[in-house]
Amino acid sequence: MHSTRTNIIRFTELDSTIDYALRNIDKLHDRDVVLAETQTKGRGRFDRKWISHIPDNIYISLVLKPAAETGEAESLMNISQLMSVSVCDVFETYGISAGLKWPNDVLVDGHKICGLLSRGILEGNRIRACILGIGINCNMERKDLQDINQPAVSMNIILGHPVDRDMLLECLLETFFRQYRPFLKEGFSLIREAYSEKSILLGRPIEVELPGRRITGTARGFSEHGSLVVASDSGEETEIRAGDVRCASVV
């Protein structure tokens, strides 16, 4: 059964919201949001660390449990891409123009400002639920950003004033859930155009790091399933479903 309201569960401190959600997945409901003021073990993609001991930023995990029988859960594969578009839309209302680096990095002038991480909970060979971890740098000091191992920025630094974290969160959830139901039905195609418009990779030479090999070529576009289409110098097209993309002219 779907709920239509989000319910925010707040913690002063957690190891990480995504770990909490994984441990408690059976007790958590569709649209529950686990929020921690600080995290001691914030996580990023490929088990990288996400600096998250500074309060007044967004460290949340969103629990999604769509009805199993409809088959809509398949769309959860791409849910972090919907969230990345939602983050850009919300940023736009602050006057911040952000771009997307496939699959779901949100960058402002090449600087990381938001990280997304999703975990599917499988039952047999299908997705039963999904936990979407979201970290957004809202109110960071410059010195905190220097501790991050890649160029990073925070909303307050861009805007020159502090950001109301709770309002940002409300707007983000509202924006995300406005498209959530149609997204479950239609999948990535629903947001393909918006996603492509925001992509900073299209038409650029890129290098994709895959487990055990490396592909170079030009970013051509995105398939209906949200994978990255790379054209090699010989014109051969490859669909990338997972991998770490580098783009020298961007980062």
Partner 1 sequence: MFGLKKKKKIDVMLTAFRDGFQSVYGARVLTEDFLPAIPAAMEAGIHHFEAGGGARFQSLFFYCNEDAFDMMDSFRETTGPDANLQTLARGVNVVGLDSQSSDIIKLHARLFKKHGITTIRNFDALNDVNNLDYSGRCISEAGLKHEICITLMGLPPGLEGSHTPEFYLDVLQKILDADIPFDSLCFKDASGTASPRTVYKTVKKARSKLPGKMPVRFHTHETAGISVNTTMAALEAGATGIDCSMAPCSGGTGQPDIAVIWHALKDTEFELDLDIDKLMKAENVFRDCMKDYIDFPEAARVEPMIFSSPMPGGALTANTQMMRDNGILDRYSEVIAAMPEVVERGGFGTSVTPVSQFYFQQAFNNVMAGKWKKIAEGYGKMVLGYFGRTPVPPDPQIMSLAREQLDLEPTDKCPRELNDEDPTKGTPAAEQLLQENGLPITEENTFIAATCKEKGIIFLNGDAVVNVRKKSGEEDKKTKKDYPEGIPPKPEDIRAFDVYVDGEYFKVEVNDPERPPLIRHYTPFPFTGTAYPGSASQIRSRTQTTLYNESDNGWECKEEPEKEGEVQVKTPLPGILLRCDKKAGETVKVGEVIAVIEAMKMNNNIDAPVDGKILKMKCKPGRNLDKGDIICIIEPT
Q: Are 156 and 163 in contact (CB under 8 A)?
A: yes
Question: Residue 11 interacts with partner 1 (CB under 8 A)?
Answer: no
Question: Residue 97 interacts with partner 1 (CB under 8 A)?
Answer: yes
Q: Determine the Cα–Cα distance for residues 177 and 24; give it in Å rounded to an integer.
A: 23
**Which of 17-25, 71-79, 151-159, 217-225 is the region at the interface with partner 1 (rule: CB under 8 A)?**
151-159
Among 170, 221, 229, 246, binds partner 1 (CB under 8 A): 170
**Which of 5-13, 104-112, 182-190, 213-221 is the region at the interface with partner 1 (rule: CB under 8 A)?**
104-112
Nearer to partner 1 (CB atom), residue 70 or residue 97: 97
Among 89, 118, 188, 222, binds partner 1 (CB under 8 A): 89
The conformation of residue 72, written as its DSSP 8-state character, comes to G
Question: Residue 108 interacts with partner 1 (CB under 8 A)?
Answer: yes
Q: How many CA atoms lie within 13 A of 153 on its CB side?
A: 16
Q: Min. distance of Cβ 98 from partner 1 in angstroms?
A: 7
Question: Residue 95 interacts with partner 1 (CB under 8 A)?
Answer: yes
Q: Min. distance of Cβ 174 from partner 1 in angstroms?
A: 4
Q: Determine the Cα–Cα distance for residues 199 and 235; give it in Å rounded to an integer.
A: 21
> CB-based contacts of 89: which residues, under 8 Å, 6+ apart?
175
Query: Which of 177, 178, 184, 191 has the alpha carbon at shortest distance from 129?
Result: 184
Among 172, 184, 228, 230, binds partner 1 (CB under 8 A): 172
> CB-based contacts of 87: which residues, under 8 Å, 6+ apart?
98, 106, 114, 116, 134, 136, 172
User: Residues interacting with partner 1, by CB under 8 A?
Assistant: 89-90, 92-98, 108-109, 111, 153, 157-159, 167, 170-172, 174-175, 178, 194
